[in-house]
Amino acid sequence: MKKEKKAADGALTAKKGKLTDTSLLLIITVAVFFVMYIGAMVFLQKGFLKPQTFFNILNANAALIITACGMSLVMITGGIDISVGGVVALVSMCCAVYLDFMGGNVFVSIIIALAIGLAFGAVQGFLVAYLDIQPFIVSLAGMFFARGMTTIVHTAPFNVENEAFVALKGTRITVPGMGTVNKLGKYVNAYVEIGVIVALLIVVLLFCMLRWTRAGRNFYAVGGNRQSALMLGINVKKTRFFAHLLCGILAGIGGYVYFLHVGSGSASHASGMEMNAIASSIIGGTLLTGGVGNIFGTFVGVLSLSTIQNIVSSIGLDQAWWTGITVAAMLCIFLVIQSVLLARKK
């Protein structure tokens, strides 16, 4: 039988199977991203040669990076959270209403964002981990609730004019040593927004957490085999709760970063963001079955996703539908590659 077969070529695979699944998928993701970006620089040139193009990708996707990181955490434990897009919209709307209609200050608005994220994370985490309800259903309800609440808080979209906030929103951090000479012959420094710094910090922090802390390793164990993790002495419920809680908080932070980027409240904000977050995680090498994934991969996944969109629109396919089709095609290719690779390994 299978197991006897495995016993026989056990010695073989011991030498061959040097990489863990996580590292293998990460390498593929990073390689694809570099090939794609360098290819664009060589063949398309235009904008891709300007550093600012790259930083604009970061500026536009800081919020997605943060929410996708949260998504990856949950996916590594074998769950899913499709409420993140809704939470982002709700956070933007609440903060916008607070800042403009209630004359609030920026600091408190950040607390509000965190509190909303925390509340969603805690409730969903409790339902998933302690009542053992399927994460898909729980977060589906979470998404409905967040989207519904957003319109209940305020219906019409509007721009925030709070001075302190506008100042914060406009803050640009120059990237030393990077810049281009513009049409007028003036040297312009490349810049990033505050959100990007937050996103990068979060990526580094989460990467370290997953790699070196006990809690992080428990995520992988729980995602790999929940029953086994329990038998190995891991508090599975706490771990799953913690993952959903973190994802909620990250959705809150992501919501604020999104809000900072767009500077307005609207019920249609961040629509489909949960799907982009899932897609980025998958392209970044996270398996929805759990136990395999890497935060750095997710980061590269987000970059790949928006790079391909940039490439498509810069080669002239700028009708609205091409974006959707390209993203889907990319997702499809990655899924098939992963599936074939992992199947061959077994």
- Using CB under 8 A, which residues numbered 295 to 324 contact other proteins? 319-324
**269's tokens:** 């904000």
- Pick between residue 186 and residue 346 the one whose CB is nearest to other proteins: 346
Instruction: Give the binding range for other proteins (CB under 8 A) out of 19-27, 35-43, 44-52, 189-197.
Output: 19-27
Residue 230 CB, shortest distance to other proteins, in Å, is 6
- Pick between residue 188 and residue 317 the one whose CB is nearest to other proteins: 317
Q: For residue 231, what are the CA distances in angstroms to 180, 202, 290? A: 58, 32, 18
Residue 110 CB, shortest distance to other proteins, in Å, is 24
Q: Which residues contact 222 (CB under 8 A, 6 or more apart)?
A: 77, 78, 229, 234, 236, 239, 240, 243, 290
| Exposed/middle/buried for residue 248 (C-beta within 10 Å: 0-12, 13-18, 19+) | buried
Residue 205 binds to other proteins (criterion: CB under 8 A): no
DSSP state at residue 319: S
Closest CA to 251 of 281, 284, 274: 274
Distance (Å, whole) CA 346 – CA 344: 5
Distance (Å, whole) CA 294 – CA 159: 36
Q: Residues 151-190 vs other proteins: string with x where CB under 8 A?
A: xx--x-----------------------------------
Residue 344 binds to other proteins (criterion: CB under 8 A): no
- Sign of the four-CA dihedral 220, 202, 200, 97: positive
# of chain residues touching other proteins (CB under 8 A):
91
Closest CA to 209 of 246, 241, 240, 255: 246
Q: For residue 76, what are the CA distances in angstroms to 22, 44, 45, 61, 140? A: 10, 36, 37, 22, 19
Residue 138 binds to other proteins (criterion: CB under 8 A): yes
Residue 38 CB, shortest distance to other proteins, in Å, is 26
The residue within the footprint of other proteins, chosen from 251, 279, 295, 308 (CB under 8 A), is 279
Residue 282 binds to other proteins (criterion: CB under 8 A): yes
**319's tokens:** 């009708």
- Pick between residue 189 and residue 235 the one whose CB is nearest to other proteins: 235
Closest CA to 241 of 149, 96, 129: 129
Residue 191 CB, shortest distance to other proteins, in Å, is 31
The residue within the footprint of other proteins, chosen from 4, 102, 103, 183 (CB under 8 A), is 4
Residue 284 CB, shortest distance to other proteins, in Å, is 13
Q: Residues 210-249 vs other proteins: string with x where CB under 8 A?
A: -xxxxx-xx-xx-xxx-xxxxxxxxx--------------
Residue 47 binds to other proteins (criterion: CB under 8 A): no
